[in-house]
Structure 1
Amino acid sequence: MLDDGSYTAVVDRFEGDQAVLLIEDDGETIDERVLDGERLPEAGRHADAVLKVTFVDGDVKEINYEADETEARSERAQSRFDRLSRRPPDDDG
């Protein structure tokens, strides 16, 4: 069971009406929770949405969508993809 407090969570995927959240602490995934997708803020009902989730006695008490962090993570991922997709120079260039 998670300690009481607020954690960062990322929407990993949806399975029907259920949202699968990966719970993080210091950048490490420490738990996975499945919640009814309707419990998520409307803006955060998509894969890779970053949420701030507060737990009390093991139950989710509050969920907030973190728009700025969602955008920042998306930009970092795109930047990594762009760097990796560049072809290395060939022997002629």
Structure 2
Amino acid sequence: MTPDGIYTAVVDRFEDDLAVLLLEDDGDAVDQAVLDTERLPEDARYVDAVVSVELEDEEVIDITSEERETVERSERAQRRFDELSQRPPSPEDESETS
């Protein structure tokens, strides 16, 4: 049972007309909420959108789009991807520059 309160959530996926949100506490996924996609703010109806969710008695009673957080997370993920996609120089590359 997830305690009442306000959580950061990420739109994880869509199943038919339902949106599955992963609820976070200090950056860790702690639970999920499933609700009609129509309840999401229009600008948060896509995978990886970040929203603020208020729960009461395990029901979502309010949802707010967190556009800035969505952009920041996307940029961090892109930077990590870019760093990981850079291959280290091979011995052949190093000998060519000498």
TM-score bracket, normalised by the shorter chain, equals: over 0.9
Post-superposition CA distance 1:5-34 (Å, at most 9, x none): 100000001111111100000111000111
Aligned partner of 2:39 in structure 1 is 39
Aligned partner of 2:68 in structure 1 is 68
Aligned partner of 2:17 in structure 1 is 17
| Percent identical residues | 59
CA-CA distance at 1:55 after TM superposition:
0.6
Q: CA RMSD in A?
A: 0.7
The one-letter code of the counterpart of 2:7 is: Y
**Which of structures 1 and 2 has the bigger CA Rg?**
2
Structure 2 residue matching 1:10: 3-state secondary structure: strand
Q: Give the TM-score, by structure 2 length.
A: 0.92
Q: Which runs of 5+ in 2 are unaligned?
A: none
Distance in 2 (alpha carbons) for counterparts of 1:27 and 1:13: 18
Q: Give the TM-score, by structure 1 length.
A: 0.96
Aligned partner of 2:88 in structure 1 is 88
Distance in 2 (alpha carbons) for counterparts of 1:82 and 1:9: 25
Distance in 1 (alpha carbons) for counterparts of 2:70 and 2:37: 18
Q: Which runs of 5+ in 1 are unaligned?
A: none
Distance in 2 (alpha carbons) for counterparts of 1:42 and 1:91: 51
The answer to whether residue 15 in structure 2 is matched with residue 6 in structure 1 is no
Q: Which has the higher helix share?
A: 2
Aligned partner of 2:30 in structure 1 is 30
Q: Across the two proteins, how many residue pairs are aligned to each other? A: 93
